[in-house]
Amino acid sequence: MKFEFKFIDKKQGSIKDDVLSGLTVALALVPEAVAFAFVAGVSPIVGLYGAFMMGLVTSIFGGRPGMISGATGAMAVVMVSLIKQGNEMGAPGEMMGLQYLFATLILVGIIQMSAGFFKLGKFIRLVPHSVMMGFVNGLAIVIFLSQLNMFKSGGEWLSGGPLFTMLGLVAGTMLIMIVLPKISKAIPAALVGILVISGIVILGGIETETVKSFIQAGGGSGIKAGLPSFDVPMIPLTLETLKFIFPYALILASVGLIESLMTLNLVDELTETRGSGNRECVAQGAANMVNGFFGGMGGCAMIGQSIINIKSGGRHRLSGIVASIALLVFILFASSYIEMVPIAALVGVMFMVVIGTFAWSTFNVMNKIPVSDLIVIILVTVLTVIFDLAIAVLAGVIVSALVFAWENALRIRARKSTDEHGIKHYEIYGPLFFGSTTLFNSKFDVQNDPAEVIIDFKESRIMDQSAIEAINKLAERYQKEGKTIHLRHLSIDCIKLIRKAEKICDVNIVEDPNYFVAIDNYKRMLS
Lowest mean per-residue pLDDT among 232-246, 436-450, 457-471, 483-497: 483-497
- Residue 353, domain member (yes or no): yes
Same domain? For 396 and 489 the reply is no
CA angle, corner 455, sides to 451 and 461, nearest 5?
Answer: 160
Same domain? For 421 and 397 the reply is no
- Residue 158, domain member (yes or no): yes
What's the pLDDT score for residue 36?
82
- Residue 2, domain member (yes or no): no
The CATH number covering residue 420 comes to 3.30.750.24
Same domain? For 398 and 473 the reply is no
What is the average pLDDT across 304-322?
91
CA distance linking residue 296 with residue 419, whole number of Å: 76
Same domain? For 373 and 521 the reply is no
What is the average pLDDT across 30-51?
87
Name the more confident of 496 and 338: 338
Nearest to 501 by CA among 457, 447, 460: 457
Q: What is the pLDDT of residues 132-171, one digit of tens each?
A: 889 889 888 988 888 888 898 877 899 999 999 999 999 9
Name the more confident of 378 and 38: 378
- Residue 408, domain member (yes or no): no
**pLDDT confidence tier of residue 510, bands split at 50, 70 and 90:** very low
What's the pLDDT score for residue 469?
87
Beta strands in 269-338 (DSSP E): 300-301
CA distance linking residue 202 with residue 290, whole number of Å: 37
Query: With 80 as the cut, is the pLDDT of residue 477 above it?
Result: yes
* Percent share of the chain, pLDDT over 70: 91
CA distance linking residue 16 with residue 22, whole number of Å: 10
Using the 3D structure, point to which of 348, 367, 402 is the last residue of a domain: 402
Using the 3D structure, point to which of 383, 402, 421 is the last residue of a domain: 402
What's the pLDDT score for residue 516?
36
Q: What is the 3-state secondary structure (H, E, C) of 80-141?
A: HHHHHHHHHHCCCCCCHHHHHHHHHHHHHHHHHHHHHHCCHHHHHHHCCHHHHHHHHHHHHH
Query: With 80 as the cut, is the pLDDT of residue 346 above it?
Result: yes
Q: Which domain holds residue 117?
A: 15-402
Answer for the pair 285, 116: CB distance below 8 angstroms, yes or no. yes
Query: With 50 as the cut, is the pLDDT of residue 259 above it?
Result: yes
Query: With 70 as the cut, is the pLDDT of residue 246 above it?
Result: yes
Query: With 90 as the cut, is the pLDDT of residue 95 above it?
Result: no
Same domain? For 81 and 57 the reply is yes
- Residue 10, domain member (yes or no): no
List Cα–Cα distances, 204 to 196, 197, 198, 208, 304, in angstroms. 12, 10, 10, 11, 30
Nearest to 516 by CA among 505, 508, 527: 508
Same domain? For 115 and 208 the reply is yes
- Residue 3, domain member (yes or no): no
318 Cβ neighbours under 8 A, 6+ residues apart: 15, 18, 19, 22
Q: What are phi and psi of 69, to 5 degrees?
A: -120, 155
Q: What is the pLDDT of residues 192-216, one digit of tens each?
A: 999 999 999 999 999 999 988 888 8
- Residue 5, domain member (yes or no): no
Query: With 60 as the cut, is the pLDDT of residue 518 above it?
Result: no
Same domain? For 343 and 425 the reply is no
Q: Structurally, how many domains does the chain consist of?
A: 2
Q: Which of helix, strand or coil describes residue 294?
A: helix
What's the pLDDT score for residue 506?
60
Nearest to 306 by CA among 514, 68, 500: 68
Same domain? For 208 and 302 the reply is yes
> Across-strand partners of 507?
487
**pLDDT confidence tier of residue 513, bands split at 50, 70 and 90:** very low
Q: What is the pLDDT of the chain when averaged over all its residues? A: 86
Same domain? For 55 and 200 the reply is yes
Same domain? For 387 and 489 the reply is no
- Residue 82, domain member (yes or no): yes
**pLDDT confidence tier of residue 8, bands split at 50, 70 and 90:** low
CA distance linking residue 234 with residue 102, whole number of Å: 9
Q: Which of helix, strand or coil describes residue 421?
A: coil
Same domain? For 153 and 80 the reply is yes
**pLDDT confidence tier of residue 232, bands split at 50, 70 and 90:** very high
**Residue 154 neighbours by CB distance under 10 Å:** 7
114 Cβ neighbours under 8 A, 6+ residues apart: 285
CA distance linking residue 236 with residue 504, whole number of Å: 64
Same domain? For 390 and 422 the reply is no
What's the pLDDT score for residue 515?
37
Using the 3D structure, point to which of 369, 402, 435 is the last residue of a domain: 402
Nearest to 5 by CA among 182, 136, 125: 136
Q: Which of helix, strand or coil describes residue 392?
A: helix
Answer for the pair 47, 259: CB distance below 8 angstroms, yes or no. no
